[in-house]
Amino acid sequence: MRTIGVWPLGMVFVAGLGLGCGDDGPATPSSEGSSDEGGSTTMVVPDTTGPEPGTSSSDDADASSGPPPQTCGNGVIDVGELCYLDVENYAVDSAPSDLALADLQGDGVLDVVTAAVGANGHTIMLGDGMGGFGEPTLVLGGSGTRGVALGHLDDDGIIDMAGANPITEYVAVYYGDGKGGFSDQMPVGAASGPRAVAIRDLDDDGWGDLVSVGELSEDVTVRLGDGMGGFLGAQTFPVGPEPYDLVVVDLDGDGDLDVAVANQGEDTISVLRGDGSGTLAAEERVVVGQGPRALTAGDADGDGAMDLAIANFDDDDVALLRGDGMGGFADTVEHFGVVSEAYGVVLADVTADGVLDIIALRRGDAEVVVFERFPDGSYDVRGSYLLPLNPLALEVADLNDDTVPDLVIAAAGADRVGVLLSFP
C-alpha cells in the first residue's frame, strides 16, 4: 500500500491554503453523505469543484506560538509559509480506498492509480502536468480491491501495478503498456486476505519484489521477482493480529530493506528486519497505540535515523516512534491529536523550513491536518483542510513541477480523489 511519503530535506517546500494565507476560518464542505469503508455510499449534492475559499482552520493550534507572517499566491516560497488552494475533487465513482502515484506514460508527468473497492479493480487518471488529472478509466481486478502499489516488475522499464484484495488468496499483478494502461490481472499467491502491498527490491538484484500483508493469515508474504515478470515461491513471516498496512524501508541503516506492519487488532506494530536476500527476521513488536491503521517512515528529527509515524484509529491520534538508527526505537512514544478516526499519514516538509512535518487524515471530520515541527523537535497543529467524505489514503507529490509538495487523497465516501495544490 504505502509508498514512503517523505520529501528530501535538501529540498525546500511549502504547502498552504486557498485564496489566502494559512488561518482563515472553516468553510462548508462541498458534498455530504456517509459511507462505511468499502461499503455502500449515499451521496447528497456531489460536487467536483471543491469547497468555497478558506477551507483551512488553525483553531486547533496553540495561538501563543502563532505562525510566521506569510503571503500566499505571490510565487515566493517563504520559510514557515503554509499555502494550499482549496481541494479540487475528481469523480472516480468507485469508492477509492488507496492510491499511488507514478509516471505511467514516461512523459515526466505523475499519474494516479486508485484501489477501487466499489468497482472491483483500479481507476487510472493521467496527469496533465499542471496539477490536474484527466477522466478516469477502470482496470478490472479482484473483488473488493483495497491496496495498490506501483513499480517495476519486469525489465521493460515501464511501471507495473499490484493490487491487494482482502477477500482473495492472491495479489493481482498488472503489467504496464507505457501508455497509461495495464494488462489483465495475473493472480500471484499471497497471504490470506491481503490488505496492503508494496513493490520493492528486497534481495538487491535490481528487480521488483512483491511484499504483502495478510489480514486473515496475520503474516507478511514475500514473492521475489525474477526480472521477467514472474515470481519465486512464497515466503511467509508472522506478524500481529489483523495487520492493516505496511511500509518497506531500511530501518537499521545496513543497506537492506526492512518491513514495518501496523497491527490494527492490537496496539502494536511489527518490525521485521531484512538480510538483503529477501528473507525477513522474526518480528519485534512495539506498542504504539490503539487501532493503528497506517504508517510511514522518514527522518522526522534530522538525526539520520529512520522514524515511524503511525495513524491510530481508535486512539484518535498520530504516534511518532523515533528510531535509533539500529532498527530500534525510543522508549517513549510521542502522541499528537486529536485526529478523529486517524487513517492516513505521511511525512513531508510543507512549511519550507527544511524539516519534516506530519500530515494526517481525520476520517471522522473529513479533514487533513498538518502538524508542524518546531526547532525543539515538538509538533503542534498548524492547520487543517476540508476534504470529501471518508478519506482513507494520502500521498504527497509535486504535481505541477513547482518544487512544492501537493496532497492527493482517496475519499471513499464521496467517490472522489481530492487534490490540494500548493499556492506559494
DSSP class per residue in 66-114: -PPP--TTSS---TT-BBBPPPEEEE-SS-EEEEEEE-SSSSS--EEEE
- Ramachandran bin of 156, using left for φ above 0, alpha for ψ from -120 to 50, beta for the remaining angles: alpha
Q: Confirm if 276 and 204 have CB atoms less than 8 A apart.
A: yes
Here the cell at position 212 is 504483502
List pLDDT tens digits, range 384-393.
Answer: 999 999 999 9
What is the spatial distance between Cα 178 and Cα 107, in angstroms, rounded to a whole number?
10
In a domain, 409, yes or no: yes
Model confidence at 195, pLDDT cuts 50, 70, 90, reads very high
Residue 192 has pLDDT above 70, yes or no: yes
Rounded to the nearest integer, the mean pLDDT of the chain is 86
Q: How far is CA 321 from CA 269, 287, 327, 337, 373, in A?
A: 10, 10, 11, 15, 15
Predicted local confidence at residue 93, as pLDDT: 77
Please state the rounded mean pLDDT for residues 322-341. Answer: 93
Model confidence at 168, pLDDT cuts 50, 70, 90, reads confident
Predicted local confidence at residue 14, as pLDDT: 31
196: which strand partners?
213
Strands (E) across 255-306 are located at 258-263, 268-272, 284-287, 292-298
Please state the rounded mean pLDDT for residues 108-121. Answer: 92
In a domain, 9, yes or no: no
User: Which residue shows C-alpha cell 495495464?
Assistant: 182
What is the spatial distance between Cα 288 and Cα 315, in angstroms, rounded to a whole number?
10
What is the spatial distance between Cα 278 and Cα 267, in angstroms, rounded to a whole number?
27
Predicted local confidence at residue 58, as pLDDT: 45
Share of the chain above pLDDT 70, in %: 83
> Which residue, among 224, 230, 314, 299, has the nearest Cα to 267 in the 3D structure?
314
CATH of the domain at 118: 2.130.10.10
Please state the rounded mean pLDDT for residues 356-369. Answer: 96
User: Which residue type, as a one-letter code, is found at position 412?
Assistant: A
Handedness of CA 5, 197, 261, 168 (dihedral sign): positive
In a domain, 390, yes or no: yes
Residue 25 has pLDDT above 60, yes or no: no
What is the spatial distance between Cα 136 and Cα 307, in angstroms, rounded to a whole number?
35
Between 143 and 265, the higher pLDDT residue: 265
Predicted local confidence at residue 191, as pLDDT: 82
What is the spatial distance between Cα 363 and Cα 365, in angstroms, rounded to a whole number?
6
Residue 141 has pLDDT above 60, yes or no: yes
Q: Confirm if 145 and 115 have CB atoms less than 8 A apart.
A: yes
Here the cell at position 11 is 529540498
List pLDDT tens digits, range 214-271.
Answer: 999 999 999 999 999 999 999 999 999 999 999 999 999 999 999 999 999 999 999 9
Residue 19 has pLDDT above 90, yes or no: no
- Ramachandran bin of 66, using left for φ above 0, alpha for ψ from -120 to 50, beta for the remaining angles: left
Residue 283 has pLDDT above 80, yes or no: yes
In a domain, 412, yes or no: yes
Q: What is the pTM of this model?
A: 0.85
In a domain, 8, yes or no: no
Predicted local confidence at residue 70, as pLDDT: 67
Coil vs helix vs strand at 44: strand
Q: How far is CA 259 from CA 272, 297, 300, 344, in A?
A: 5, 11, 18, 18
Question: CA Rg, the chain, in Å?
Answer: 20
Please state the rounded mean pLDDT for residues 191-209. Answer: 96
In a domain, 2, yes or no: no
Alpha carbon 292 to chain centroid, angstroms: 14
- Give the count of domains, the chain: 1
Whether residue 369 has a cis bond before it, omega within 30° of 0 = no
Predicted local confidence at residue 69, as pLDDT: 60
What is the spatial distance between Cα 365 and Cα 2, in angstroms, rounded to a whole number?
23
List pLDDT tens digits, range 65-106.
Answer: 455 566 899 988 899 899 999 999 999 978 999 999 999 999
Residue 369 has pLDDT above 70, yes or no: yes
Residue 46 has pLDDT above 80, yes or no: no
Please state the rounded mean pLDDT for residues 145-166. Answer: 95
What is the spatial distance between Cα 224 and Cα 233, in angstroms, rounded to a whole number?
8
In a domain, 15, yes or no: no
Domain that holds residue 361: 32-420
In a domain, 413, yes or no: yes
What's the number of CA atoms in the CB half-sphere (13 Å) around residue 112?
36
Coil vs helix vs strand at 413: helix
